[in-house]
């Protein structure tokens, strides 16, 4: 198990499992409250949980040890995350979790495209086929047919 905890695949699958729980729990949580307030509560919880994890794991580092460029991209990433969560909770308030979550996962397709266009990453023909299948699958699951 120790080796599995060091593998990116383990953490990616754990992320997927928690993301699935997030969709179901958030759908239940937005009932009766404004979606922006629900996002705020979620954000506060994440702040405290992350602080606790850093305290236990020793993950804290001196803020002065981080470059300005790193802070810029982390702040921009945080802003994008906040915008994503606000949109996601609004979508969950309005739609079915089983249809909202697959469209949200079109982010996988966009990450592949942005990775190639902005980061110079390369994908094989098989990778592109997978990206296309993810896109098609997301649309088919979200489609009310």
Which residues, at least 6 apart from 101, have a Cβ–Cβ distance to it below 8 Å? 19, 20, 23
Share of the chain above pLDDT 90, in %: 76
Q: Give the range among 21-25, 54-58, 129-133 with minimum mean pLDDT.
A: 21-25
d(CA 1, CA 3): 5
Q: Which of 34, 2, 35, 16 is nearest to 108 (CA)?
A: 16
Q: Which of 5-9, 59-63, 127-131 has the lowest mean pLDDT?
A: 5-9
Q: Greatest CA separation found in the chain?
A: 54
Distance (Å, whole) CA 107 – CA 115:
12
113, pLDDT greater than 80: yes
Q: Does residue 55 register a pLDDT over 70?
A: yes
What's this model's pTM, rounded to 2 decimal places? Answer: 0.80
pLDDT averaged over every residue in the chain:
92
pLDDT for position 82: 93
Residue 4 has pLDDT above 90, yes or no: no
pLDDT at 22: 87
Q: CB of 10 within 8 A of CB of 4?
A: yes
Q: What mean pLDDT do residues 27-43 have?
A: 91
């Amino acid at each position: 198990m120790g080796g599995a905890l060091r593998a990116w695949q383990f953490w990616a699958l754990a992320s997927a499992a928690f993301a699935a729980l997030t969709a179901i729990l958030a759908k239940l949580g937005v009932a009766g409250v404004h979606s922006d307030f629900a996002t705020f509560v979620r954000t506060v919880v994440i702040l405290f949980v992350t602080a606790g994890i850093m305290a236990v794991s020793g993950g804290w580092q001196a803020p002065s040890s981080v470059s300005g460029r790193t802070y810029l991209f982390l702040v921009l990433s945080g802003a994008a995350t906040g915008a994503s969560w606000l949109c996601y909770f609004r979508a969950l308030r309005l739609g079915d979790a089983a249809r909202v979550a697959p469209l949200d996962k079109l982010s996988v397709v966009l990450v592949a495209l942005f990775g190639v266009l902005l980061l110079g990453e390369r994908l094989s023909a098989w990778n592109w086929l997978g990206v296309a299948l993810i896109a098609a699958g997301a649309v088919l699951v979200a489609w009310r047919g």
